[in-house]
Amino acid sequence: MTSKTQSGWSSRIESLEVRRHFAVATPPFDARVENGSLIVTGTAADDAIVIDNPEGAAGMVRVMTYSDNWPRVFTGVTRDVRVDLGDGDNQLFVEALLVRRDLRIRTGAGRDGVQLGGTSVGRDASIETRQGDDTLALVGVTVGGQARLASGSGDDLLTVARTTATGKAYVRGYRGDDNVAVIGSTFGGGQILDGLGTDAIVTQAVEIDSNFRHGDQGWEVGFADGPGPPHERGDTLDWGVRTLPRSLKASGTGYYLYGLNGWDDLFMYLTKPVGTGEGLAASQAYQVIYQIEFTTDIPTRYDYPVYLKAGATPNPLDGFLDGNGHYRLNLDKGNQGNAGTEVGIVPSGLNHALPYLAAEAASFPFRTARRTYVHDRPITAGDEGTLRLVVGTDSALEAQTYLYYRKIRVVLVPIRTG
């Protein structure tokens, strides 16, 4: 399913670099439960925090740094969730969270990014940032009351996509030339979009929905980072649209990728070209948003380094052998736990998708998870109005990886960067 773009964006968007692969012994934030409300307080430095509820269990919330190996799990969260991040360039990812009452998020001065995906809020949701060029995104969020996004001074990017609210929605920039996008969303009380700068407002984007119950949907498979060209690796790789594992007790098919990583480095990916036929415009910059549903048996222990990644590039993908004889791509995806400029890491993506279960010591059952990803910088289409979408796993795990992609939804929001 596609919808056409609407031109007319005007604003300078600086890239927001997600904090890369780091580990901490003591979380650089304070989190506690008081009277049924979860309260998370950041620092004056650059914080990168993920808050989620991977099991969907009532009252359970997990809080961790962007790539922390040992998250903190809280129970008894029956009321509000309140997050207050200090000054600094902060990143906050809220994924698959069930908030019984109000959700309130506030950041300080700095270049901040706040992303909510697949989250349900019982009453009101409020996100407020202050000075700095900030990015705020709500994707697939359900709000029982009012939804309010407000940015401070700076050239900000505010996006609401596939979101519903029973009450009114307020999306407000302040001083600065802001980009405001409301895509495929409904609000029972109407919406107010405004600001004090020279803002650009868009209500249409290119949307690509791929359900692999209906075949490959135009997605192609690729492998990289191992020794030699992929076709020379024999039975260590496998792929195709296959029936879902019987243990799931679910019918249908998914796009199956398998890799036996015996060399400590394997990138398995799906890629799909999109262009003017889907509504892209030549040399237009786009904010790239993903919703990914997948099934995997990857162990959920945090020392299993398999990273889910997503992004886009204007260039046709091409492989080459580097100086060590490893097959690489002309794609800036980073490597393993590092993000690239064209492809980045999906927070709480694969081996963080579900909490560790002691029973996994004997077997790793297949599970299904849904994740949201908003790329941290705009991607500009080529001179002929083309982009190539990329979703994959980057593994340093010397073992087998089985993965079934079930649905991939992409929203490409036109923005102005000059």
pLDDT at 296 over 90: no
CATH T-level topology, domain 208-415? Jelly Rolls (2.60.120)
CATH 2.160.20 in the chain is located at: 30-204
Report residue 354's pLDDT band, with 50, 70 and 90 as the boundaries.
very low
pLDDT at 243: 95
CATH 2.60.120.260 in the chain is located at: 208-415
Give me 218's structure tokens: 């135009």
Strand blocks (E) in 135-233: 135-139, 142-143, 147-150, 157-161, 164-165, 169-172, 179-183, 186-187, 191-194, 200-202, 206-211, 220-224
Contact 151, 111 (CB under 8 A): no
Q: Rounded to a whole number, what is the largest CA-CA distance in the chain?
A: 60
User: Which residues partner with 39 through β-bridges?
Assistant: 32, 82
Q: Name the amino acid, one letter, at 176.
A: G
Contact 197, 217 (CB under 8 A): no
CA 57 to chain centre: 21
Length of the chain: 418
* Separation of alpha carbons 82 and 293, rounded Å: 28
Helix (H) or strand (E) holding 382: none
pLDDT at 16: 33
Helix (H) or strand (E) holding 81: strand 81-84
* Separation of alpha carbons 148 and 140, rounded Å: 15
pLDDT at 37: 97
Other CB atoms closer than 10 Å to residue 237's CB: what's the count?
18
* Separation of alpha carbons 191 and 186, rounded Å: 9
Contact 176, 197 (CB under 8 A): yes
Look at residues 371, 409, 370, 407 and name the one whose alpha carbon lies nearest to residue 208: 409
CATH T-level topology, domain 30-204? Pectate Lyase C-like (2.160.20)
CA 233 to chain centre: 31
Contact 362, 331 (CB under 8 A): no
Look at residues 58, 65, 59, 62 and name the one whose alpha carbon lies nearest to residue 18: 65
What global pTM score does this model have?
Answer: 0.87
Least confident window among 5-19, 65-79, 130-144, 232-246: 5-19
pLDDT at 388: 98
pLDDT at 324: 85
* Separation of alpha carbons 413 and 418, rounded Å: 16
* Separation of alpha carbons 171 and 166, rounded Å: 15
Residue with tokens 């990273």: 307
Q: Name the amino acid, one letter, at 22.
A: F
**Burial (CB count <10 Å: 0-12, 13-18, 19+), residue 15:** middle
pLDDT digits (tens, 9 = 90+) for 233-243: 665 889 999 99
pLDDT digits (tens, 9 = 90+) for 77-115: 999 999 999 888 999 999 989 999 999 999 988 889 999
